[in-house]
C-alpha cells in the first residue's frame, strides 16, 4: 500500500511517521541506461531501495538502449554496477528477486518498432510480475532526445495509463541552456504528460543535508530570529569539486559551471536558505515559498564587477601534469567555457535587504566540498583590549552539505590561561556521522522512491526552473561578449578575479 509522505501529511498520527514508505507495484523504464549516470547512480540506487525493503516484490526494471544486448547480458551489467557501487551490503536474496523483474529492450529513439517492443515488455511485466499498469519513464538522455522519446511514448500508447494506474516521466537536467530552450522543452513534454506526472530531478534536493536546511531553520527556535538582515552580513554558497569534467566533454563544453550547477543546485540551496516558513512541506507550499525568493532575486547592475568566470589551466605538480580544461579529451582547444563561476545576487525582500548571496562553484579546486555559510555581522562593539579586532572573524553558521555532513557554528571564545581577556575564533560541530548510527541514503534513492510514490515536494517546478534561467541568462549573455576566460590554477581556491569581487564588497571567501 502507498503510504502518504510524512512531508505532505502533517495530520497523520505521529507514530505512523516512522513507518517506511514503500512503493506500490510498478516498473521503472530507463532510457539511456548504458550511460554513466545509470551505472554509477540509478542502478545502485534501485538495488539499495530493494535491499532496504522499499520496493514491492512486484517491481520491474527495464533498460532501453541502442546496444545489441540481451536481457541476460543486461542483468549481468546491472549486477556489476550494483556490486561496484551499492551503498548497502550485497544480498543474494534481494538480487535474485530484483533480477527476475529486469528486462532489456534494444532500439534507437526513432525506431517505432522498438517502442512497440517496449510496450509489449511493459504489458508482459504487468501480466507476469504484477506491475499493474504503473510505469515511470526515466529520461537519462540529452535534452535533444526528449522530443523524440516523448513523441514515441505517446504514439505507442505508453504515456497513457488505464483506469486506476499511473504513468510518470522523470527528466534529468539540464532543462535547456537558457529560458527560451527550457520553455521549448517544457512544451514538448507537456504535450504528452500532464504536469503532475512530470518529475524534474535536481539531485541536490534528494540529499539529506539539504533537507536538513528545513529542519535546522523550522524545527528550532534559536536560528529564525537572527536569520535576517538585522544580523546576517552575507551568505556564501559553495560547491567546490577537486575533479575535472570526467568523460563528459560532449555535455559540458558550451554549458559551463554556471549552467551546470548554479542554475539548478546552488539556486535551489539559496531558495531553501532564504525562503519564509512554508505553511506545510507539501509540494505546493514549498514551491510557493521558493518561487517567491527566486522572483525577488536582483542582479547587480555592473556584472563586470559582480560575476566572475574562469577556466582551469594546465598545471605541473612535480613531474605530474594535471590537464587544464582545454587539454581535456573532447574539448575544443579554443573553448571559452568556464569551469569556475561566482556571482553576487541580492534578494529584494524585507528579510534580506542589503544581504548579498554569493554562489560559487568550480572544477579542480582545492577539495570537494559543498556548504552554505551564513556569515553574521560583527558585534557592534568589541571591548577586548588584548585582541586585535582583525583576529576575530564574523560569527557563522555553516551547513555542511558534503562531505562530513553536518553543521558548524563559528564564534569567539576566551583563550584559556592568559591573565588578560584574549578572544579567538572556535567551532562547535554537529556531525551526522557522530550523532546518528544510520548512514544517509544516496540522493537518487530518495528521489526515485518519491517518483514511484508520486510524491512531488523534492522536485523543482517549471516555474522554479524558468525563474532560475531568468536569473542566469543576463550573466551568460554578458560573459558571451568577453572572449577567453582568465585561467586559474588547479588545486587552489579559484581565481583572483573572484577574490577581488568579494574584496570590493569588503568581504572574503571562506576556505572550507
Residues near ligand BG6, by CB under 6 A: 241, 260-261, 370
Of 264, 245, 256, 268, nearest to 173 by C-alpha is 264
| The 3-state secondary structure of 293-320, one letter per residue | HHHCEECCCCHHHHEEEEEECCEEECCE
From the CB of 241, what's the least distance to ligand BG6, in Å?
6
From the CB of 243, what's the least distance to ligand BG6, in Å?
7
Element (H, E) at 424: strand 423-431
Q: Which is nearer to ligand BG6, 247 or 354 (CB)?
A: 247
From the CB of 178, what's the least distance to ligand BG6, in Å?
17
Residues 6+ apart with CB under 8 A from 157: 119
Q: Which residue has the cell 514549498?
A: 286
From the CB of 110, what's the least distance to ligand BG6, in Å?
27
Tell me how long the chain is: 512
Give the cell for residue 61.
526494471
Q: Which is nearer to ligand BG6, 26 or 171 (CB)?
A: 171
Q: Which is nearer to ligand BG6, 118 or 472 (CB)?
A: 472
Element (H, E) at 194: none
From the CB of 209, what's the least distance to ligand BG6, in Å?
11
Q: By the 8 A CB rule, do 236 and 509 touch?
A: yes
Element (H, E) at 184: helix 179-192
Residue number of the CB atom closest to ligand BG6? 260
Q: Spot the catalytic one: 135, 203, 234, 265.
A: 265
Q: Which is nearer to ligand BG6, 126 or 241 (CB)?
A: 241
Q: What one-character DSSP code corresponds to residue 288? A: H
From the CB of 301, what's the least distance to ligand BG6, in Å?
30
Task: Map residue 416 onto helix, strand or coil.
Answer: coil
From the CB of 401, what's the least distance to ligand BG6, in Å?
8
Element (H, E) at 322: strand 320-322
Q: What one-character DSSP code corresponds to residue 252? A: H
Q: By the 8 A CB rule, do 271 and 445 touch?
A: no
Q: Which is nearer to ligand BG6, 134 or 370 (CB)?
A: 370
Q: Which is nearer to ligand BG6, 269 or 294 (CB)?
A: 269
Q: Which is nearer to ligand BG6, 197 or 370 (CB)?
A: 370
DSSP β-ladder status, 340-343 and 357-362: antiparallel
The crossing angle, in degrees rounded to 10, of helices 267-274 and 208-218 is: 20
| The 3-state secondary structure of 441-490, one letter per residue | CCHHHHHHHHHHHCCCCCCCCHHHHHHHHHHHHHHHHHHCCCCCCEEECC
Among this protein's residues, is 265 annotated catalytic? Answer: yes
Rounded Cα distance between 64 and 50, Å, is 21
Residues with catalytic function: 265
Amino acid at each position: 500500500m502507498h503510504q502518504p509522505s510524512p512531508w505532505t501529511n502533517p495530520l497523520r498520527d505521529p507514530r505512523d511517521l516512522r513507518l517506511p514508505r514503500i512503493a506500490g507495484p510498478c516498473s521503472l523504464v530507463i532510457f539511456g541506461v548504458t550511460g554513466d549516470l545509470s551505472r554509477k547512480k540509478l542502478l545502485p540506487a534501485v538495488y539499495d531501495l530493494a535491499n532496504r525493503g522499499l520496493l514491492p516484490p512486484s517491481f520491474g526494471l527495464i533498460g532501453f538502449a541502442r546496444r545489441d544486448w540481451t536481457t541476460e547480458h543486461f542483468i549481468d551489467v546491472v549486477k556489476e554496477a550494483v556490486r561496484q557501487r551499492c551503498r548497502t551490503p550485497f544480498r543474494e536474496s534481494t538480487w535474485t528477486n530484483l533480477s527476475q523483474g529486469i528486462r532489456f529492450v534494444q532500439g534507437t529513439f526513432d525506431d517505432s518498432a522498438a517502442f512497440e517492443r517496449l510496450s509489449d515488455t511493459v504489458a508482459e511485466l504487468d501480466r507476469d510480475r504484477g506491475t499493474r499498469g504503473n510505469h515511470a519513464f526515466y529520461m537519462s538522455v540529452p535534452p535533444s532526445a526528449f522530443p523524440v522519446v516523448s513523441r514515441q511514448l505517446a504514439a505507442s500508447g505508453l504515456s497513457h495509463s488505464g483506469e486506476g494506474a499511473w504513468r510518470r516521466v522523470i527528466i534529468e537536467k539540464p532543462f535547456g541552456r537558457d529560458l527560451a530552450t527550457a520553455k521549448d522543452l517544457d512544451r514538448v513534454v507537456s504535450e504528452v504528460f500532464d504536469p503532475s506526472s512530470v518529475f524534474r530531478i535536481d539531485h541536490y534536493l534528494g540529499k539529506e543535508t539539504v533537507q536538513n536546511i528545513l529542519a535546522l531553520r523550522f524545527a528550532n527556535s534559536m536560528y529564525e530570529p537572527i536569520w535576517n538582515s538585522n544580523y546576517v552580513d552575507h551568505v556564501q554558497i559553495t560547491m567546490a569539486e577537486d575533479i575535472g569534467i570526467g568523460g563528459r566533454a560532449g555535455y559540458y563544453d558550451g554549458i559551463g559551471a554556471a549552467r551546470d550547477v548554479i542554475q539548478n543546485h546552488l539556486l535551489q540551496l539559496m531558495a531553501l536558505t532564504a525562503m519564509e516558513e512554508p505553511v506545510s512541506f507539501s509540494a505546493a507550499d514549498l514551491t510557493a515559498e521558493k518561487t517567491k525568493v527566486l522572483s525577488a532575486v536582483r542582479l547587480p547592475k555592473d556584472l563586470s564587477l559582480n560575476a566572475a568566470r574562469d577556466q582551469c589551466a594546465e598545471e605541473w605538480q612535480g613531474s605530474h601534469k594535471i590537464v587544464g580544461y582545454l587539454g581535456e579529451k573532447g574539448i575544443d582547444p579554443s573553448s571559452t567555457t568556464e569551469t569556475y563561476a561566482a556571482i553576487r545576487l541580492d534578494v529584494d525582500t524585507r528579510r534580506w535587504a542589503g544581504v548579498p548571496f554569493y554562489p560559487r562553484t568550480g572544477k579542480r579546486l582545492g577539495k570537494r566540498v559543498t556548504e552554505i555559510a551564513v556569515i553574521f555581522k560583527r558585534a557592534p562593539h568589541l571591548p577586548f583590549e588584548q585582541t586585535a579586532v582583525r583576529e576575530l572573524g564574523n560569527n557563522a553558521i555553516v551547513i555542511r552539505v558534503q562531505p562530513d555532513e553536518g553543521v558548524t557554528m563559528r564564534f569567539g571564545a576566551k583563550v584559556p590561561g592568559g591573565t588578560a581577556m584574549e578572544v579567538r575564533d572556535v567551532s562547535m560541530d554537529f556531525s551526522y556521522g557522530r550523532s546518528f548510527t544510520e548512514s544517509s541514503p544516496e540522493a537518487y534513492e530518495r528521489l526515485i522512491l518519491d517518483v514511484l510514490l508520486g510524491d512531488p515536494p523534492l522536485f523543482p517546478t517549471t516555474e522554479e526552473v524558468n525563474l532560475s534561467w531568468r536569473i542566469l541568462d543576463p550573466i551568460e549573455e554578458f560573459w558571451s561578449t568577453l572572449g577567453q576566460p582568465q585561467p586559474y590554477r588547479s588545486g587552489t581556491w579559484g581565481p583572483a578575479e573572484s577574490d577581488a569581487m568579494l574584496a570590493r564588497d569588503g568581504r572574503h571567501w571562506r576556505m572550507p
